[in-house]
Structure 1
Amino acid sequence: MTLAELIAQARTALDTAIATRQQEQDALMALRSDENLTEDAVTAQVARRDAADQEVTRRQEALAGLEAEQEREEELAQLQARTVPAANRAPAYDRVHRVGAEERTYRPDQDRRGAMFERDVAAAFLGDYEARDRLARHMAEERTERGDQLQRAVGTGAFAGLVVPQYLTDMYAPAAQANRPFADAMRRHDLPAQGMQVNISRVTTGSQVDNQATENTNVAEQDMDDTNLAIPVQTAAGQQTISRQSVERGAGVEAVVMDDLFRRYNTNLDNKVINQATTGLRHVATAVTYTDADPTAAEVYPKVIEGLAGVEATMLDMASGDNIAVMHSRRWYWMQNAMGSTWPLITQPNIVAQTLGANYATAYGRGVRGILPNGTPVIVDNNIATNLGAGTNEDEIYLVDRQECHLWEDPDAPMYIRAEQAKAASLGVLLVVYGYFAYTHQRYPHAHKISGTGLITPAYTGV
């Protein structure tokens, strides 16, 4: 990762910290206006606000350090551009003997055909500092003797073979990917070192407890039973063969290819945990249907609450309360575009009065994007399909307990192989990226989804 990318990442983290701190301050102000105010509640909220303030300071200092480092790097780069090795510097003016005037750098009596000049032009192009110095002195001499004529000099277009286009290789644009926002939000585990299947025992028949009918009579009894949940370990892999010439004579070609393979590996994994047949989130979630020819954000929100109620009804005392909503970016922005004049009847944790949720303004793939009116965090993931339904234009909103969406990955994944011998006959280098993973949303089959004609391609009409 480049220093510029680290600075951009630090700025995003600072923006997020500032937004969080503002939310905590708003919540504190709302709490102080509450008639049922308690000192403990205020103290706790002040502590949360202060913690968020400290996080802003920490992020600010980290960004300032990176920016100072970048400024120093740029200063050194400019200094290096003005400096040539000591052995190649021309002698100082007062260190040489001079009689009358200096000789011209390129003299017609010594180089009638200009071969020395042409050689220096070619050498300067290849990085020869001495050749560059001679050409610079020659141009200074020309300006002194023929400055009026140089004003009529031709443009760079007349020297297409000498004015070479430059490629900014450090600013290459990688292919955009949906990456893995939901996979990063799942509960992570290290994949066991061996085996192509992981198993979880699920108690499907529990014991029984009831009141004893009369003294000295048998109490309730029910034999417990479990069912094995078998989860396959899957292998994701991709390859790219690049020429040895591109590796040895190109600029960063191998790094660009590996970056693309890694990003596509992440996108594939995330796509599978959402859309894979039978086991993906889309196929195991219980549907809450929203049918509407003229859908609005105000109408879909009660469906979200219905889905969350279904999650808790399934989980009962095993619910962690760490619920999240997962949706496509087009659905998230559609919900943000809605305007309204009514508010929930029941206030929610971390939600300021008379607001209908909050946008944290975090970048795509950087974690929670915001919260819904009831405080449920939102994960935006563009691996969610947008071609569902009879009209092939619907997407879905998923509601899950984050702690019951399990993902096992090798700590070193993804891994890569660089093989030269396999393609030696064609001077190729084979790059392979691969990794093993397993996942399940079915330890407790709890996931719900909002689907139906109410989730067709959104129209941003402010409702």
Structure 2
Amino acid sequence: MTLAELIAQARTALQTAITARQQEQDALVALRSEENLTEDQVRAAVERRDAADAEVTRRQEALAELEAEQAREEELAQLQARTVPAATRAPAYDQVHRVGQEERTYRPDLDRRGAMFERDVAAAFLGDYEARDRLARHMAEERTERGDQLQRAAGTGAFAGLVVPQYLTALYAPAAQANRPFADAIRHHDLPAQGMQVNISRVTTGSEVDNQAAENTEVAEQDMDDTNLPIPVQTAAGQQTLSRQSIERGAGVESVVLDDLFRRYNTNLDAKLLNQATTGLTNVATAVTYTDADPTAAELYPRVIEGLAGVEETLLDMASGDNLAVMHSRRWYWMQNALTDKWPVLSQPGIVAQTLGANYATSYGRGVRGILPNGTPVIVDNNVATNLGAGTNQDEVYLVDRQECHLWEDPDAPMYIRAEQAKASSLGVLMVVYGYFAYTHQRYAHARKVTGTGLVTPTFTGV
């Protein structure tokens, strides 16, 4: 790999790191605007932002080192050109007399594919002065031998082998992913270092307190009992085998593949939290049915409030009040399209009574997108399924207490394995991304979901 290619790869990695850092900063700003924040939430967000910031610094320093190395190489090349003895220095092409035919700068018999010429074109674009000199000599040779032809008004199409296309690798378009909006919004824990299962004790039979019937009589007593909640530690992983040629002769191929694997890892984890059989949110939430052949946003809202009431009814004094509404982007925009002359009877702090909530105008995946009329924050997550119900065209709206949706992740997840020996016989490099995680929404069976025919594919009619 050339120094220029390394610099291009470093620039791509720096841009990726800058984007990740900006996402963490935006998430922190959005988090600080929420009510009922805990210090742990803010501290965790700051740590993620600082880690992303440190990665930017590291990538920046790596790029600066490569650019300094390139500048030094160019400086030495210029110095060498100035210090070659006069007796051995090659005279300029147009400053000597020639007899016969001089050897061409680019000889077809030695380089039939024109690879030397193409490398010089690319190197000259990156500032290589020696490459520019060789190209200038080549053009002087062309004018000497084919001057009458070069004066004609030929376009670039006449020089398909000379007009070299440029590939804007820094602007490559990654495959779009739903990523992990819900996973980033719920309560996080560090996954224990050992074991493939974590357990939580749930008190299912509590003690009893009652008035004493009379003095010196037995007071109420009830033996407490608990039930174990086992939570499996799951392994998410993906792999990609690259040829050595693609890594060593491509521009930033390895970093592009890694970025895609990491983003697909995050999307898979978030989708499992919502949709996994038995334990996913859709399978543990209690249904609040909204059946309507002509649904409207104003009719959906009371079902949302019903679901939130069920969350608090289950949690009682364990309710944190830090509730979330989780929905697909199509449902969020459908709710925004509604127009009505009605508004809630009770006003809420910081919310205009005549509106059906507020949109924060933040982009997808950057935390809370807005609030409902009662102040409940909304997380928009396109891992929410849209093929539910008899017509396979329904989505769901989930209502949860943020503090009772638990996610355990390894602090270093996802991890990365780069194995060269395993595929050495075929000149392949195996890249594997993996991580361990565990989750539960069932410490208390509190979650609710609004579901039914009122949540079919929305039509944007203003109601």
TM-score range, shorter chain: 0.7 to 0.9
Question: Equivalent residue for 1:111?
Answer: 101
Q: Aligned partner of 1:408: which letter?
A: W
The 1:136–1:106 alpha-carbon spacing in structure 2 relative to 1, beyond 3 Å, is farther
Contact 1:105 1:137 in 2 (8 A): no
Residue 200 of structure 1 is matched in structure 2 by 200
Per-residue deviation, 1:251: 1.7
Conserved? CA contact 1:106–1:138, under 8 Å: no
Shift in Å at residue 432 of structure 1?
Answer: 1.2
The corresponding residue for 2:306 is: 306
- What pairs with 1:87-106 in structure 2 (closer than 5 Å)? 87=79, 104=94
Residues 243, 428 of structure 1: 8 Å contact kept: yes
Partner of 1:47: none
Which stretch of the first structure deviates more once superposed, 127-136 or 190-199? 127-136
Q: CA deviation at 1:2?
A: 5.0
State whether structure 2 residue 318 is matched by structure 1 residue 318: yes
Instruction: Write out aligned runs for 1:69-218 (5 A).
Output: 85-87=77-79, 104=94, 109-111=99-101, 115-116=104-105, 118=107, 123-127=116-120, 129-136=129-136, 152-218=152-218
- Alpha-carbon distance change, 420 to 204 in structure 1, aligned in 2, over 3 angstroms: same
SS of residue paired to 1:334: helix
Q: Which amino acid aligns with 2:299?
A: E
CA contact (8 A) 2:26 2:366 kept: no
SS at match of 1:104: helix
Q: Decide whether aligned partners of structure 1 residues 136 and 233 sit closer, same or farther in structure 2, where only a CA change above 3 A counts.
A: same
The one-character-per-residue Cα deviations of 1:127-162 (angstroms, maximum 9, x if unpaired) are: 373352253367589999x99985634122222122
User: In structure 2, how many angstroms separate the alpha carbons of the residues matched to 1:148 and 1:346?
Assistant: 87
What is the CA–CA distance in structure 2 between the aligned matches of 1:457 and 1:387, rounded to whole Å?
9
Contact 1:324 1:378 (8 Å CA) reproduced: yes
Pairwise CA distance, 1:163 = 1.9
Q: Cα–Cα, structure 1 residues 117 and 209, in superposed 2: closer, same or farther, change >3 Å?
A: closer
- Report the CA distance shift for 1:238/1:353 in structure 2 as closer, same or farther (over 3 A): same
SS, match of residue 450 in structure 1: strand
CA shift in 2, pair 1:4/1:414, >3 Å: closer
**1:65-100: CA deviations, max 9, x gaps?**
x9xx9xxx9xx99x98xx874237689xxxx9xxxx
After superposition, residues 312-461 of structure 1 pair within 5 angstroms as 312-461=312-461
The code of the aligned residue for 1:236 comes to A
Q: Distance in 2 between matches of 1:180 and 1:17?
A: 16
Distance in 2 (alpha carbons) for counterparts of 1:107 and 1:266: 69
Summarize the Cα distance change of 1:445–1:111 in structure 2 as closer, same or farther, 3 Å threshold: same
Does the 8 Å contact 2:31/2:367 carry over to 1?
Answer: no
> Shift of residue 175 of structure 1?
1.1
Q: Secondary structure at the match of 1:183?
A: helix
Tell me how far 1:296 sits from its aligned partner. Answer: 0.5
Structure 1 counterpart SS, 2:184: helix
Work out the CA distance in 2 between the residues paired with 1:424 and 1:8. Answer: 34
CA contact (8 A) 1:388 1:394 kept: yes
Q: Give the C-alpha shift of residue 263 in structure 1.
A: 1.1
CA, structure 1 residues 133+110, in 2 after alignment: closer, same or farther (shift >3 Å)? farther
Query: Aligned letter for 1:111?
Result: Q
Q: 1:235 to 1:249 in 2, by over 3 A?
A: same
- Give yes or no for contact 1:104–1:138 (8 Å, CA) kept in 2: no
Change (3 A) 1:439 1:462: same
**Which moved further from structure 2: 12-21 or 175-184?**
12-21
State the distance in 1 between where 2:320 and 2:362 align.
25
Say what the alpha-carbon RMSD is for the aligned residues. 3.9
Counterpart of 2:94 in 1: which secondary structure? coil
TM-score, with structure 2 as normaliser: 0.78
Shift of the 106–17 alpha-carbon distance from structure 1 to 2, 3 Å rule, reads farther
Q: Quickly say closer, same or farther: Cα 1:311–1:249, change in 2 above 3 A.
A: same
Match of 2:38 in 1: none
Retained in 2: the 8 A contact 1:123–1:131?
no
What is the aligned length?
413
1:165-215 deviations in whole A, cap 9, x for unaligned?
222222221111111111111110011111111111100011111111112
Q: Secondary structure at the match of 1:125?
A: helix
**Residues 105 and 433 (structure 1), Cα distance of their counterparts in 2 relative to 1, 3 Å cut:** farther
Match of 1:48 in 2: none
Deviation, structure 1 residue 252: 1.7
Q: Any unmatched runs of 5+ in structure 2? A: 1-11, 35-52, 87-91, 124-128
Q: Cα 1:361–1:215, aligned 2, differ >3 Å: closer, same or farther?
A: same
| CA separation of 1:254 and 1:138: change in aligned 2, threshold 3 A | closer
The structural deviation recorded for 1:341 is: 1.8
Residues 237 and 182 (structure 1 numbering): CA distance in 2 closer, same or farther, change over 3 Å? same
SS in 2 for 1:116: coil
After superposition, the Cα gap between the structure-2 partners of 1:147 and 1:372, relative to the gap in structure 1 and judged at 3 Å, is: farther
- Counterpart of 1:126, as a letter, is R
Instruction: Provide the rounded CA distance (Å) in 2 between the counterparts of 1:143 and 1:2.
Output: 43
Q: Which residue of 2 aligns with 1:259?
A: 259
Cα distance change, pair 137–106 in 1 and its aligned pair in 2 (3 A): farther
State how far apart, in whole Å, the 2-side matches of 1:439 and 1:261 are. 21
SS at the partner of 1:256?
helix
Deviation larger for 305-314 or 130-139? 130-139
Secondary structure, counterpart of 1:306 in structure 2: helix
